[in-house]
Structure 1
Amino acid sequence: MLLFSGLIAGCDLLEFSPNETRAPKEYRDLTRKNLEALQARPNPTGGDTVRFVFIGDSQRFYEEAEAFVQSVNRQRNIAFVAISGDISDFGLIRELRWVHDRLKHLDVPYLTVVGNHDLVANGREAYQRVYGPLNYSFEYGSTRFVFVDTNGREYGFNGRVPDVPWLQQTLAAPAPGIRRQVVMSHVPPHDEDFDKQLETSYVQTLSGPNTPPVAFELNGHKHDFGIGQPYENGLTFINSYSFEKRQYVVLTVWGEKEFKLDTVQY
């Protein structure tokens, strides 16, 4: 009887299926926990400037993740790390846990947006269990950050992802003390995996008369760095290096749309 009770108490250590979506407490609600940690930290740059690390697509690059953590921890005045999706490769909760086992050693909080690989099989449930909401926003360092699910192909291009009405409402919400907005998603709107019936409305939402304005959009998915204005409307898109590239970008943002980026190799 005692042996049976011990097995039940330790069931978090067992995995009964590759598609298991349960997780021990320390692997749940990581977005909320990281946001709480971020809000408890004073902005290291002060004023209206915020400096953060931008990278994407950790997937199965576990050795690279360990080297990444060591490199970021040597940087100064970093507020947080932003990861532009594809935390996992096959949407497995064990992958999310393995990545977190590396990233939890960062000296700063890290925040993620959901990627297309994170939605494979039972991945959506796994991602929501480990990290939390697929669409969310927060304010820090005079900036509103908006993270949005843009993985249209994974929803069969159903005309509802990304959630443009939610994005419009979020960008239009009153923002005292906020000077600019930064949007991050995984799939950029000019990619074939984005729902084309929503491309125009999505881009118009980002580039419209938002107050405060959208400084730029951050994306992943392509596994390499890129920067440009594909719609010639003044809106800048920045794509992340993936972990396998052993490079990341440090973004410093100030004013309404002013920013500086530095590339770090590790």
Structure 2
Amino acid sequence: MPHVSAFSFLSSWAGRGLGALLLTGLLGGCDLLEFSPNETRTPEEYRNLTRKNLDALAARPNPSRGDTLRFVFIGDSQRFYGEAEDFVRSVNQQPDVAFVLVAGDISDFGLVREMRWVDERLRKLRVPYLTVIGNHDHVANGRGAYEQVYGPLNYAFTYADTRFVLLDTNGREAGFNGTLPNIPWLESTLADTGGARRQIVVSHVPPFDGDFDPQLEQPYVEALARAPRLVFELNGHRHDFGVDYPYENNIPFINSYSFEKREYTLLTLWGDRGFRLDNISY
């Protein structure tokens, strides 16, 4: 039997309208096809998740009393999808949690599909979740994918009298060219507390890590030291919990567990600088 191409087959039926109908359906459905693993487009349901979660948080009263705020801190979800499901079940049992912070590396290869797979699990949380971009989220077209799925790489919000400043510190991914982190943006954002009682900075790579731009380490630390009402700095990247005081300014740097560790940190804040860390296994 001679080989007949799909195009020849369709063309032979074009007079009856079938070929034209099928071709129209295929071409019209291009938005449903992913032509490249590095595709950054995604349906509206998976776009601008940071804004959507911030709107949900703004509509949610602080579940704690007085000036107390409780939130969950974890990082590096990457390909740990089973662990993410167990994480959600555990967090949903914790009382008085306002939201979840994920300290970067949402994906492993910077793919939209990875970010969507993580979101499909984390959206089952009973509270909003917020993220910061990690170095793995920069891979290939990951920067564009992150902006499409989540939104701005640097942003700030205030909740329960607490100002959170989240920024991209993945200097190696910029070739250590002096642009990441954006020090002027950080300084101006920290200077404008909006009347908040306390401030917290959240990033992925800590300044004392080899993946942080070395020429920006000192300016970054100085910006934190000048920041009014700064309580601590939160990081991911190292896949394990730790509290470090690496600089003379005595600012605590708190590193997150990764999802693979099956542990997360429950942070409780009160007053101007009071805080407690509880590590939860799941």
Match of 1:244 among 260, 270, 276: 260
Rounded Cα–Cα distance in structure 1 between residues aligned with 2:100 and 2:31: 28
Rounded Cα–Cα distance in structure 2 between residues aligned with 1:228 and 1:258: 17
SS of residue paired to 1:47: coil
- Asked if structure 1 preserves the Cα contact closer than 8 Å seen for 2:193 and 2:199, the reply is no
- 1:44-59 aligned at under 5 Å gives the runs 44-59=63-78
1:36 corresponding residue in structure 2: 55
> Could you list the per-position Cα deviations for residues 185-220 of structure 1 after superposition, in whole angstroms to 9, with x for gaps in the alignment?
000000000001110110011112x33x11000000
- Measure how far apart 1:254 and its partner are: 1.4
Rounded Cα–Cα distance in structure 1 between residues aligned with 2:30 and 2:202: 36
- Asked if structure 1 preserves the Cα contact closer than 8 Å seen for 2:163 and 2:199, the reply is yes
Which amino acid is 2:260 matched to?
E
Change (3 A) 1:172 1:27: same
- Measure how far apart 1:10 and its partner are: 4.8
Rounded Cα–Cα distance in structure 1 between residues aligned with 2:187 and 2:95: 34
- Measure how far apart 1:11 and its partner are: 4.2
Match of 1:89 among 108, 119, 124: 108
Q: Sequence identity, in percent?
A: 67
Change (3 A) 1:239 1:4: same
- Measure how far apart 1:256 and its partner are: 1.6
Aligned residues: 263
Q: Which one has the largest radius of gyration?
A: 2
1:217 corresponding residue in structure 2: 233
- Measure how far apart 1:152 and its partner are: 0.2
Gaps of 5+ in 2: 1-19
Gaps of 5+ in 1: none
Moved over 4 A (4+): 1-12
> Could you list the per-position Cα deviations for residues 21-60 of structure 1 after superposition, in whole angstroms to 9, with x for gaps in the alignment?
1100100000000000000000000322211000000000
Q: TM-score, normalised by structure 1?
A: 0.96
Rounded Cα–Cα distance in structure 2 between residues aligned with 1:41 and 1:155: 37
SS of residue paired to 1:263: strand
Rounded Cα–Cα distance in structure 1 between residues aligned with 2:24 and 2:53: 34
2:165 corresponding residue in structure 1: 146
Is 1:255 equivalent to 2:271 in the alignment?
yes
2:214 corresponding residue in structure 1: 196
1:131 corresponding residue in structure 2: 150
- 1:52-201 aligned at under 5 Å gives the runs 52-176=71-195, 178-201=196-219
Q: TM-score, normalised by structure 2?
A: 0.90
